Chains A and B, each alone.
Chain A
C-alpha cells in the first residue's frame, strides 16, 4: 500500500489533514507494540533529568539569571525534549525504509514535498502533546512553577515552543540531508542537540561559565528560542503584552528562516538523489 500517491493532485486542506492522520497512524503502528514502554521510559527519562536539580536546589534559594533553579531547568528540559522530536527526519526516513516504502515516497517530486510537509506537521503535533504532558508533570512536582505564571503566558510560551519546533525541523533537515547524498554515516543532528544541551542554556545560563567556554554558545543558534520561551513563560502580561508579541515575532522570524533553508536543502538533496537513481542506497 502506498503511503503517499505518486502524483499529487490539488487537494483540499481537509483532505490533506485526513491523509496526514492516516500517514501518521501508519508510521506509529510500526512501533505500536513498544508504545507503552516507550512512554514509560520517556517519563522516567524526564524525571531522572529533572529530579536531581529539584533535590539539590530545594531550600537553597539559589537563582539562575533571576529564575529559580528548578524552574530554569524544568523549562530548559521541556524545550530540549520537545524539539528533540523535530530532529526525527532521518528516523522517519529509516522507518519508511524498513517498511519498504521509501522508494515510493521519494520517487516523485510531489511525494517528497508531501513527505516533508507531513513530517513538519507531525513534529509540531508531537511537540505540543509533549509540552502539555511534561508541563503537568513539572507542575505536580513543584506547584510554584504553574502558580507563578498565567494562562496567557503559558499560551504565548507554547506558541514560541511550536515555532521553535518548526525552526529545529529546518535545522534537522539542513544537518541530515547532505548525508543522504554522501552516503556517509553521520549524526550531525544528534551532535547539535547535545551541544545545545551543554551550551544552549538548558541547564544553566552561559554567564555562569568562564568567558571562553561561554563563547561556545555563539555556535548554538537556537539559543534565542529558549530565551524567548523562558521570558514569555514568566512575563507579567498585564503590564507588557506588547513584549509577548515581540518575543513571538522574533521566534517566528528565526523559525521561518531556518525552515526555509532546511526545506530547500532537503528538497534539493532528495531531488538530486532521485535523478541520479541513488535513492535506495541511504544509510541511516
Chain B
C-alpha cells in the first residue's frame, strides 16, 4: 500500500504525513469491524451497569442513589483508563504493522503520539457513552457535571498510556513478561474504588488499594462529580489529575525510549510484549 511506503525524512511535514498515515490505518482497521466491536462494547457496558442498577433498586432507600452513581462513575473511569492501557497497540499488532515502525526513532514517536491522541478520543467517547447509558438505566444518576468530567478524561488516558509504555519499555529492556496493564486493570476493578469504596471492606484488604496508582485520579473524579459549586476547587482537582497524567507520560516515554535503544542494539525490537 502506497501510504505505508512514505519515507519520513525527519522533517515536520514528513512526521505529520506519518501521523496521518498511522491514524488512517487505525481508523480503517476499526471501521472494518465497527458493527461487531460496537455491539460487543455496548453489551459489555450493559452487563456491568444493569446488575448494579437492579441491586440498587432492591436495596434500602439510602443506597438507591449512591450505588448507581458510584458504579457508573467508576465504570466510566475504568473504561477510559483501560482503553489507553490495553487496546491501542494491540490493534497495531494484529495488523502486523507495529514492528515496521519500531526500527526508527521517528517512527516510534509517530506511532506513540498518534496512539495517545486516539486513546484520548476513544476515552472521551467511551466515558460519555457510559455516563449517558448510566443515566438511561438509572435515572437517579445525574449528568450535570458531565462537561467538567469530560475535561478530566485526557489526563486519565495519559496516565494509562504512560503505564502501558513503562510496561512495554521494561519488557524491551529485560525481555521478561510482566503484564502490568492487565494486572492494573483487574486491581483497579477490585481495589481501585471503581465499584465500591474501600472503607466498606476489611482494613487488611483495603490496603491493597495502595498498589493501585489510579486511585488518586478516581477520587478527584468523584469529587468533581459531586458538584461542588466552587469553580477554583474543581479546576484545582483537574490540574492535579493532569499533573499526574503528564508525570506518568514522561516516565513512560523515558522508559520505552531506553528500552528501544537497548532492543535496537540487541536486534530484539520485534519481540516486544505489550502486556495484552
Contacts and interface: CB of A to CB of B under 8 A. Distances in A.
Contacts of B28: none
Contact of A37 (B57, B177, B201): B177
A143 interface: no
A221 to B, nearest CB: 17
A204 interface: yes
B117 interface: no
Interface residues of B, number: 34
Contacts, number: 92
Q: Interface size class for chain A?
A: 35 or more
Given A187-B36, A208-B57, A34 B177 contact: yes
B179 A56 contact: no
B13 interface: no
Contacts of A45: 186
Contacts of A69: 55
Nearest to B189: A48
A58 B55 CA distance: 12
A203 interface: yes
Interface stretch (B46-54, B214-222, B242-250): B46-54
B43 A185 contact: no
Interface in A2-37: 33-34, 37
A278 to B, nearest CB: 21
Given A56-B59, A208-B57, A208-B58, A41 B196 contact: no
What 4 A-B pairs are tightest by C-beta distance, nearest first?
A: A203-B51, A44-B186, A48-B189, A52-B195
Given A190-B40, A194-B43, A208-B57, 11 more contacts: A40-B183, A45-B186, A51-B196, A53-B55, A60-B59, A62-B55, A62-B58, A185-B32, A194-B40, A198-B50, A208-B58
Interface of A: 33-34, 37, 40-41, 44-45, 47-49, 51-53, 55-58, 60, 62, 64, 69, 73, 185-187, 190-191, 194-195, 197-198, 203-204, 208-209
